[in-house]
Structure 1
Amino acid sequence: MWPTSELALTPLWRIRSEALPFNERVQLSYQRCRSVVQTYRLTSNDIVNVSPMYWKFYTDPILMMDCAVAILLTIHYNLCVGTLAMYSFDRPDIARLVENLLKFEISGQYCLTELGHGLDIFNMESTAKLLSNGEFELNTGISRAAKYMPPTSPCGIPVVAIVFARLIVDETDRGIKPFVVYLSDGSRMNKGITCKVTTVGGGSQSVKHALTSFDHVRLPRTALLGSIEKAQDARGAFYKNIYRVITGSLSVGALGLSAMRVSSYIVGSYSQRRHVIDSSTGISRPIITFSTQYIPILTAISQTFVMEAFANKARRMFLAPEATIFHKHFIASIFKATISRFAKSIPIVLGDRYGAQGLNDVNQLTIIHANARGGSIAEGDILTTSIRFGVEVILGRIAPPPTVKKDSLLWKHERSAIAELGALMRKGNSHRDSNVARQILPQCQPLIEAIGHRMAYDSAIEAGLDERLIQLFISSVMKFDPAWYSENENISRAQQAMMDQEVATALLPDINDFLDGLRAKDYITAPIVSDKAWSQFVDSLETFSQNDHEAIEEDTSAIVSHL
C-alpha cells in the first residue's frame, strides 16, 4: 500500500485534465506535485540514502495518473535536492535551501545537458567566469549551449536550478562545476536568463520543456558547489558531481514498474467487461476468454511481478556498502535497460487489445507509453549505458552478479552471449577496432538486457514468486532470441509457442487475484475499466444535438467574418 491511496481519490486527482487549456493543466500538475510532497514529507536523508520511503515514492502508481508530476518531482527530488544535499553538511545556506525545496516552496531544476551536447556533455560550452570582485559571470555564449530540456519557466513559485558550466579562472579552464542559480521569482525570469518553451512532446502532458540560456548572469561566490580548484582527475570529478544522474537511472527505472502495473490492470479489467457474440454459439462471451487477449495480458502481469522482485533486489545491490560508484552505475543501468523494454512495450501490446479505445489519451496507455520512452532517455540513455557496460563485460573488466541457479535457461543464454561476443572481440586489434565495433555495438543492449532477464529471474526465485508467473516470464523473454534456444537447447519454435499457451491458460482462472495483487485499482482514471466509469465519462463529454444548430451557425459566421 502506498501513502497516496486516499489522495488518489480526491477531486484534485480525479479531475479530468484532458480538456483543460494547456496552462491550466500545467498549474494543476504543480498543485498535484505539492500534494504528493506533503503526503510523503521526504527528508534529505531519504533522498541521499534511497530510503524505503523514497523508493516507495518512485514505485507509487499515482505518478501514472499525471506523468507530469513524475517528471517534475524526479528532477526536483533526485537531481536538484539530491545534488544540493551532497553539499549541505558544511553549508548552512544550502541546508536552508534544501529545507525550502523539501516543502515545495521552491521548485528545483537541473541544467546539465545542452542542445548541442547530450551524450558528449563532457564537452559542454557554457562557462562561469570568476570576476575580480569574487563573483561569477555565467554565459551560454552560443545557441547550441542552451540547456535542454528542463522545464525552467515561471510556475507560480520561485525556481532554482543546479546549472553546470565550465569554471574559467584567469582564462584557465578548471573543469565543469555545479552552480546554484535562481531562475525566477515564480512569475518573471531573473535578469539575463531566457527560457524558450518548446512544443509539447507527445505524452508529456503538462510539462513546459524548454531551452534555457544565460547572458552575463552575475552569481555570488556562494553559488559554486564544491572546490574552485581544478581537479586532478577532471572526468572522475565530473562523474562525482553528477552522481545523482546515476541514482536517477535506478529511480527512473522504478517508474517503469508503475507503467507496467497500471497498463496491465486497465486492459485486464477492460477485457473482462467487454463482451462479443461468439459466432459459433451465438452466446455473449468476454474477450478475456480469447487466447489473443489473455496470453499478452497475463504475460504483462508476469513481467510486472518479476520486475517488482528485481526492482527491490537492484535497490539492495545499489546500496550495498561494498558497491563502488562504477558498480552502482552498472546495476542501475542493467535494471533500467531491462525494465524500460517492458515499460515501453506493454502499453503498446496491450493498447492494441482494445482497438480504437487504446488511442484515446483518457484511457492512459498512450500517455504512459510516451513517458516510458522519455524515461528510457532521461538520466542515462539506455543505449549509451548499455554500450558502455556491455563492452566492459565483454572485456572482463566487470562481471555480472552471480546466479542462484546455474542450470537455468536464462543463465546459459547470458553466458553464451558473453562468450560469443568475447570471441568476436578477440578477432580485432582492440575493442576500438572499427570492424569489431560495427559488429559488437549493436549487440550491447541485447546483452545487458539478457543479463537483466537472468537477474530478474533470480530475484523472482528468491522472492518466492508463483512458479507459473516465473515460467511465463521465462517464455516471454525467450522471444527476444528464439533462435538461440532452438540452436542450443533444442527447443523448437512450436515448443516455444506452446510454453506461452500452456502456462497462460493455467493462470487464467486466477486472473482476478493477480489483478488485485497489482494494487492499482485506486490509481486508474481510464473510464474504460467499468460500465459506471464509462457512463460518467460519456455524460461529461461536449455534446451537440439538433437544438445546437443555430448556435453553431452563429459561431461559424463569426469565425468567417474575421477571416
Structure 2
Amino acid sequence: MSRTTSELACTSLWRTRTENLSFEQHISLSYDRCRSIVNAFKLTKDDILNLSEKYWAFQTDPIHAIDAGVLTLLNIHYNLCTGTLATYASDRPDIAALVEKLLRFEISGQYCLTEIGHGLDVINMETTAVMLSNGDFLLDTPVPEAAKYMPPTSPCGIPVVAVVFARLIVNGEDRGIRPFVVHLSDGYNMNRNIICKVLPPRGGSRPFKHTLTYFKQVRLPPTALLGTPEREKDARAAFFKNIFRVISGTLCMGASALSGMRVSCYIAGRYSLRRKVTDSFTGRPRAIINFSTQYIPVLTSIAQTLVMQAYTETARLSFVEAKGDISRQHLIASIFKATIYQFALSIPLVLGDRCGAQGLSAVNQLSVIHADLRGGAIAEGDILVTSIRFAVEIILGRIQPPPATDPTSVLYKHEQASINGLRWFLKSSTSHRDPEFEHHSLPQCQALMVAIGVRLAYESAMAANIDQRVLDLFIASVMKLDPAWYSESAGISRGDQHRMEVDCAMALLPQLESLLAKLDVQEYIMAPIVSDQSWNAFVNSLQTLGYAEQEEPWVSSHL
C-alpha cells in the first residue's frame, strides 16, 4: 500500500465525484489536489534530479488514477520545469530561490517547448529570443505556427513561471535553441504581451486546460537565459542536453501508466466476482468470473500488470546507472515506455468491454483511464517515433539492447529474430534511408522495441521472485503479439498457444483474491461497480425524478 497517499485518497478532496462538475470547477479541484500531493511527498530538487525512490513512489502512486490531470500538472511542474531549473541552481542563487518556491507549489511551473507547427521536429522551432545591445532579450512568436502548444499556461490562482525554449539570435546570428525563464502570469492575469488561448478539452479524459501560448515582443532581463549566449560547438548535442528532462519524462510517462493498469485490473476483477448471471444448467446464480471469457482477460491483465510493476523499478535503476550517457538513457526509457504502454492501453479497453455497459461509464473509471493513457503515450516522446529512431539504430548496430540474463529463453530468441528480420530488409536495400527499407521496416519498429522490452520485463519479474504461474501467463499473453513466429520458429502451434493460455489462467483463478490484494489499490477505487454497498450508495446519490409509494428494494448484483 502507498502509505504516502492511502489516507489522503479517502479525504473529501479526493472522494469528490467530478462527473457533474463544470470544466472550471474540475480544473480548480485538480490544483487543490496538486497541493495535497506536494504536501504529502515533500520532494526535494535532489529527488527530482536523481529520480530517487521517493520521486518514483510519487510517479507510480495509484492516487493518480483518480485524477490523471493532477499527475500531468505535476509532471510538467516537477520533472520538466523544476528539473530543468534545478540543474542551474548551484550557480544561480536566483534560480535556486525560484526552485524552492516551485517545490512548495507557491508558483506553478510550466514548460514551453513544442509549437503548433513543430512537435516531433521541434528542433526546427520558430520562436525567437533576440539579444539586445544592453543584454536584454525580446521573446517573440513570429508566426502563428510558432505558438507554444499544450502546456496549461493560463492563470490558475498562483503565479505561473515557464521554461520557454527559443532560438537565440545575437547580432543577427542564430545561435541555436536555448531555455529561458519567463514569468507568465501573477495567477490572475497574463503578463504584458503574453497571450494564452485555452483549447477545448480532450475527449474522454480528465479535464485539463491545454493552451496555445504566444509571445509578442516580450522583454526579458539578461538573467532569463539559462546558460550563456556563447556559440555552441555542437548545436544539436547542446539542444538535446537542454531538453534532457523530456528524456527522463519518457521514463516517467511509462511509470505513470502503472497506476491505471493496477486500478483497471482491480475494478474488473471485483466486478467479475460480484456480477452474477443465472446458470442455464443449474438455474442458480453464477459469478461471471467463472467463465473463461472473463477470467482469462482479467487474470492476463493482472499478470501483465505485476510483471510491468517489477520492470518499472528495474527501468528506473538502469536509467540512473546510465547517468551521463544521454543516448543510453533515452534508449532505456523508450524501450520501457513502448513496452508498458503495449499493455496499459489494452488493459482498460479489454476489461472495460468485459464489464459491459458499466465499462462505458466514466464513474467506473475504465473508459477515462484509457483516454488518459492515450495522452500519456504521446507525451514526452511519441512511442512510434522514438521506437523508429532506436530500432533503426539497433538494426544498424550503432547501439545494443541491454544484454540478456538467459540467452536460451524463448523471449530472447524472438527478440533476436525480430532484429535479424529487419536487418534482412536492410541488406536488400542501398541504405537505411532507402524508401524500400522504410516501407518494410518502419511499421515493425515499435514491435521490435516491445520484443526487447517484454524480455527485459520477464527478467525483472524473475529477479523479483514473482509467482511462476503469473510469469507463465505473461509469456502466454506475449505470444499472442506474434503468434506466427512462435508457431513457425519456436514450434508452439496455435492450438498449443491457446491451451497454454487457458491452462495458465485456470491455474491462477483460485488465487484471484490474493492477486487483487497484491495490486494494493483498494483505497483508490472510485468505481461503484466493485461492491453492492458502493453501488447502492451511488444509486442513492443520483438525481431522482418521480416517487414510489413504497421504498425501493435493495439493488442486487445479478440484476
Indicate whether the TM-score tops 0.5.
yes
Tell me, what secondary structure is at the counterpart of 2:19? coil
Residue of structure 1 in register with 2:94 after alignment: 93
1:144 corresponds to 2:145:
yes
CA contact (8 A) 1:293 1:353 kept: yes
CA contact (8 A) 2:322 2:328 kept: no
Unaligned runs of 5+ in 1: 548-563
Residue of structure 2 in register with 1:72 after alignment: 73
CA distance in 1, matches of 2:122, 2:523: 41
Residue of structure 2 in register with 1:325 after alignment: 326
CA contact (8 A) 1:317 1:323 kept: no
CA distance in 2, matches of 1:19, 1:528: 18
1:169-207 CA distance string (max 9 Å, x none): 111101000000111111111111111111100233221
Residue of structure 1 in register with 2:224 after alignment: 223
Cα offset, 1:73, TM superposition: 0.5
1:368-395 CA distance string (max 9 Å, x none): 1011111111001110100000001111
Cα offset, 1:544, TM superposition: 1.3
1:125-150 CA distance string (max 9 Å, x none): 00001112221110011111000000
Residue of structure 2 in register with 1:524 after alignment: 525
Tell me, what secondary structure is at the counterpart of 2:164? strand
Residue of structure 2 in register with 1:30 after alignment: 31
* Equivalent AA in structure 1 for residue 57 of structure 2: K
1:406-426 CA distance string (max 9 Å, x none): 221111100111111112111
Matches within 5 A, 1:231-380: 231-320=232-321, 324-380=325-381
TM-score of the superposition, structure 2-length normalised? 0.97
CA distance in 1, matches of 2:261, 2:221: 45
Cα offset, 1:44, TM superposition: 0.1
CA distance in 2, matches of 1:489, 1:367: 39
Tell me, what secondary structure is at the counterpart of 1:88? coil
Cα offset, 1:439, TM superposition: 0.7
* Equivalent AA in structure 2 for residue 516 of structure 1: A
1:107-140 CA distance string (max 9 Å, x none): 0000000000001000000000111222111001
CA distance in 2, matches of 1:482, 1:546: 56
CA distance in 2, matches of 1:412, 1:97: 51
Residue of structure 2 in register with 1:411 after alignment: 412
Tell me, what secondary structure is at the counterpart of 1:489? coil
Q: How many residues are aligned here?
A: 547
Tell me, what secondary structure is at the counterpart of 1:211? strand
Tell me, what secondary structure is at the counterpart of 1:510? helix
CA distance in 2, matches of 1:171, 1:107: 34
Residue of structure 2 in register with 1:15 after alignment: 16
Tell me, what secondary structure is at the counterpart of 1:305? helix
* Equivalent AA in structure 2 for residue 463 of structure 1: A
Matches within 5 A, 1:159-170: 159-170=160-171
CA distance in 2, matches of 1:223, 1:418: 46
CA distance in 2, matches of 1:29, 1:327: 35
Residue of structure 1 in register with 2:556 after alignment: none
CA distance in 1, matches of 2:348, 2:422: 32
Residue of structure 2 in register with 1:382 after alignment: 383
Cα offset, 1:322, TM superposition: 6.4
CA distance in 2, matches of 1:88, 1:398: 33
CA contact (8 A) 1:182 1:190 kept: yes
1:247-272 CA distance string (max 9 Å, x none): 00111100111111010000001111
1:514-562 CA distance string (max 9 Å, x none): 0000001011111111111111111111121169xxxxxxxxxxxxxxx
CA distance in 1, matches of 2:420, 2:23: 52
Tell me, what secondary structure is at the counterpart of 1:384? helix
Residue of structure 2 in register with 1:560 after alignment: none
CA contact (8 A) 1:162 1:178 kept: yes
CA contact (8 A) 1:358 1:366 kept: yes
CA distance in 2, matches of 1:123, 1:112: 11
* Equivalent AA in structure 2 for residue 155 of structure 1: C
CA contact (8 A) 2:205 2:369 kept: no
CA distance in 2, matches of 1:461, 1:83: 36
Tell me, what secondary structure is at the counterpart of 2:32? helix
Cα offset, 1:22, TM superposition: 1.0
CA contact (8 A) 1:178 1:224 kept: yes
Residue of structure 2 in register with 1:557 after alignment: none
CA distance in 1, matches of 2:456, 2:503: 24
Tell me, what secondary structure is at the counterpart of 1:402? coil
Cα offset, 1:323, TM superposition: 5.9
CA distance in 1, matches of 2:512, 2:371: 27
* Equivalent AA in structure 1 for residue 40 of structure 2: T
* Equivalent AA in structure 2 for residue 88 of structure 1: A
Cα offset, 1:404, TM superposition: 1.4
Q: Between the two proteins, what is the percent identity of the paired residues?
A: 60
CA distance in 2, matches of 1:371, 1:437: 31
CA distance in 1, matches of 2:516, 2:322: 36
CA contact (8 A) 2:206 2:372 kept: no
Matches within 5 A, 1:113-124: 113-124=114-125
1:322-354 CA distance string (max 9 Å, x none): 661100000000000000111110000000011
Range that drifts further, 535-544 or 292-301: 535-544
Tell me, what secondary structure is at the counterpart of 1:89? coil
CA contact (8 A) 2:196 2:213 kept: yes
Matches within 5 A, 1:497-512: 497-512=498-513
Stretches (4+) displaced over 6 A:
none
Residue of structure 2 in register with 1:559 after alignment: none
CA distance in 2, matches of 1:88, 1:204: 35
Residue of structure 2 in register with 1:551 after alignment: none
CA distance in 2, matches of 1:55, 1:233: 33
TM-score of the superposition, structure 1-length normalised? 0.96
Residue of structure 2 in register with 1:429 after alignment: 430
Tell me, what secondary structure is at the counterpart of 1:319? helix
1:440-482 CA distance string (max 9 Å, x none): 1111100000000111111111111100000100010111110
Residue of structure 1 in register with 2:493 after alignment: 492
How big is the alpha-carbon RMSD for the aligned residues of Structure 1 and Structure 2?
Answer: 1.0
CA distance in 1, matches of 2:544, 2:55: 44
Unaligned runs of 5+ in 2: 549-559
C-alpha distance 321-373 of structure 1, shift in aligned 2 (>3 A) = closer
Cα offset, 1:321, TM superposition: 5.1
Cα offset, 1:296, TM superposition: 0.4
CA distance in 2, matches of 1:284, 1:203: 34
C-alpha distance 243-148 of structure 1, shift in aligned 2 (>3 A) = same
